Chain A
């Protein structure tokens, strides 16, 4: 034990002796780690989109290999080409709902509407039309209030209740409890009954999309669609918006996602059979399968992570050079230690610990520096309204990667210096 403390004290002294050198080592490692963390955090927003989704939830999907996929391949809108497969027509939705086979089901599509808080002049308001089962299917957490219910939808007339997303509540009400406030949408008044809670730094599977209104929106019961006459943001094959909501709803064009809950294998088989009759080109995809598709972040983020890994490698090699140069300049001192009885292993261990300490100090400082870097990234690239967040998972990943990098960094200089023969420099002192 005494030996350990003695060795650690020597490592500390070695770091203190060339203070500026140590500072440069730690700082350069920290800068590289900060950009690496930023890349991981930005990529993380698009991974693990599944959240707390139930295992028995499915979506109805069309053919993913549309003419659009090749058009967008290799660009930053890569996955956009496959988005056409996510949309089914209202006709199909109604026919599937009529079978009564799913224990829960919801449509889900976004439309830009005119409206906003009643006390302000109306602006452009992104609205997502859903059924009440949305909240149960996706296990949605609430920051304030709660969901609108099936009973609200089935009441005659239906209860005009809406739910705000966390991000929109932040934009419109500064994040305050807005339950009970009135929102006017296309001239109709609705009462806010709940504000959903957004997971930090991650997009949810159910509101995954390319437009900002996919996340910063307001959930309105689908029963009001005929009255509000939405113009869906997406339709495939494309529907002309001037045909009006009734024509859009009656057309065979896909405009909405349709999610269903099928708890048993029997229910799944029967639903799939019904689907084959109603819409032969559509198929049932499990939420797991859909989430798996999103397990890879979009192309530019993958490139960014790879490049920042190279930055980290450069930094590791840089650190190795510095440690090696420092140790070599101390060869005489090492020679004395060896002559006084320190074994190769002791010298090796001491050097390795010095490398790991510098690397880990750089990593911890890098994590701290990552906070402003991540904030800067978010401001410069407002790719999604969900703010980036340095989550515990990221911190652990980075620390593990850096511990490994620290070991790699320390091994070569330590091995080189431990090989110094005790007699080599003694004559020169």
Chain B
């Protein structure tokens, strides 16, 4: 019998059991809504954590000197210069920086604007000493690094600034057009674009627009702590940490402590939160599929028992076991298809509601297709058990009473 011919009796059977089957359709629809959105959430948090930073993370080392007593800025700056010389002695490119490339808490961005232009642009500002391009392994795509301007300041007092390509293009149109132009920032005052670097990002809280970074020439210190970032091309992180620790140990200072760490992207709180959110989202999605599947499997014996006579009659009239199995699978496929069609509509509506809460939760074909595949797969699996049991019903069952 061709599958097309089987659809007629199946549809009649669906109509006969419309109560039970409409519940199944509704369950598949809501399960689909749920699963697509847990997949969207999982993707959102995965991307928050795993994205290309454009930094040679395996080589980056961060060193901190913490003062036990607050130290005046001038004295702190003298310490910075001495430490930079010491660390450069290890063969690494090194820079003092105001925030380590793995910030552990959210920070306010800097507001940039061109003189005479009212438009404001938000960028993450990094203040650092002249060797920052080499220390972070950045690639200059136009102009020079901060070391191209002596002392980090132009003769007229403007501060040297590097922009990532994203910022340069947003503010000036192209990377080339940005070179030599003035730009004002609410943290550093009047600046001038010395160079444009390829997009890079710090991990952690620097979202959204993680690649919007401005690097400002400065000798960043606080009265409590100094932070350095360094890297030697080709030298692995562990060796870098060891070299820096050994070098700084020689600079005995009773009133400070030194902490040197490699840049481990999994070490930040935000990385942990994002990873955790992915796991929770997937667990929630798994639950909904598991609940639906468990229900359907448990129903197997009932759905067969209820239709013993019907199947017996069909067997007596010549239907093979294979045909009976196929009927059950086809029936389930039709129901799942109804459910998914309804679910798709509901998912789009739900997505509208959720995007009002979190605009990044966009519904894409990937989630829709993945969820459909999962529901069709689990639907067929849940139909296979009653189908096989039904196929085992002998033709004489038709003559039996209940």
Contact = CB atoms under 8 A, between A and B. Distances in A.
A332 B223 CA distance: 85
B273 A77 contact: no
Contacts of A310: 30, 33-34, 37, 288, 350
A233 interface: yes
A241 B122 contact: no
Contacts of A302: 357
B298 A21 contact: yes
B272 A35 contact: no
B24 to A, nearest CB: 6
A229 B221 CA distance: 13
Nearest to B64: A124
Contact of A238 (B20, B108, B208, B280): B108
B290 interface: yes
Specify which of A124, A212, A381 lies most central, judged by the most chain B CB atoms within 10 Å of its CB. Answer: A381
B222 interface: yes
A307 B294 contact: no
A27 interface: yes
Contact of B70 (A31, A112, A186): A186
Contacts of B219: 242
A326 B73 contact: no
Contact of A325 (B20, B41, B186): B20
A266 B242 CA distance: 65
Chain A interface size, as a band, is 35 or more
Contact of A32 (B106, B110, B287, B297): B287
B390 to A, nearest CB: 15
Contacts of B306: 325, 328-329
Interface stretch (B174-182, B193-201, B321-329, B358-366): B358-366
Given A31-B290, A238-B187, A314-B291, A380 B299 contact: no
A84 interface: yes
Interface in B265-300: 269, 272-273, 275-277, 279-280, 283-284, 287-288, 290-292, 294-295, 297-299
Contacts of B353: 306
B66 interface: yes
B167 to A, nearest CB: 14
Nearest to B226: A242
B91 interface: no
B120 interface: yes
B30 A329 contact: no
Contact of A322 (B108, B186, B290, B295): B295
Contacts of B150: none
B260 to A, nearest CB: 15
Contacts of A412: 19
A242 B221 contact: yes
B109 interface: yes
Specify which of B223, B292, B294, B402 lies most central, judged by the most chain A CB atoms within 10 Å of its CB. Answer: B223
A233 B358 CA distance: 26
Contact of B105 (A35, A213, A240): A213
Nearest to A34: B287
B27 A321 contact: yes
Given A314-B30, A380-B276, A67 B122 contact: yes
Given A231-B223, A383-B273, A321 B24 contact: yes
A76 interface: yes
Secondary structure at the A interface, as helix, strand, loop or mixed, is helix
Contacts of A229: 70, 223-224
Contact of B41 (A25, A303, A324): A303
B401 interface: yes
Contacts of A228: 70
Given A71-B109, A73-B359, A242-B220, A314 B27 contact: yes
Interface string B12-23: 000000011001
Given A114-B224, A381-B276, A317 B26 contact: yes
A220 to B, nearest CB: 14
A142 interface: no
Contacts of B355: 74
A244 B72 contact: yes
Contact of A321 (B20, B275, B401): B20
Contact of B27 (A25, A84, A317, A416): A317
Nearest to A318: B295
Given A24-B295, A114-B68, A213-B105, A77 B277 contact: no
Contact of A31 (B31, B41, B73, B287): B287
A300 B303 contact: no
Contacts of A318: 27, 291-292, 295
A322 B355 CA distance: 34
A84 B108 CA distance: 8
B192 interface: no
Given A74-B358, A233-B105, A328-B302, A244 B295 contact: no
A320 interface: yes
A307 B284 contact: yes
A68 B123 CA distance: 11
A174 interface: no
A242 B73 contact: yes
Contacts of B302: 325-326, 328-329
A325 B273 CA distance: 43
Given A229-B70, A240-B127, A314-B31, A77 B106 contact: yes
Interface of A: 20-21, 24-25, 27-28, 31-32, 35, 67-68, 71-78, 80, 84, 112-114, 121-122, 124, 186-187, 210-213, 228-229, 231, 233-238, 240-245, 299-300, 302-304, 306-308, 310-311, 313-315, 317-322, 324-326, 328-329, 332, 377, 379-383, 412, 416, 425, 428-429
21 contacts: A27-B294, A73-B359, A76-B48, A77-B207, A84-B108, A112-B225, A210-B105, A210-B106, A229-B223, A240-B187, A302-B357, A306-B354, A307-B37, A310-B33, A310-B288, A311-B284, A314-B30, A314-B292, A321-B24, A321-B295, A429-B401
Given A77-B207, A228-B70, A303-B354, 18 more contacts: A24-B298, A28-B290, A74-B355, A210-B106, A212-B269, A229-B70, A231-B224, A237-B187, A242-B98, A243-B73, A303-B41, A306-B353, A307-B34, A314-B292, A324-B19, A329-B305, A381-B276, A412-B19
- The 7 closest A-B CB pairs, nearest first, are A74-B359, A380-B276, A187-B69, A211-B105, A381-B276, A318-B295, A229-B70
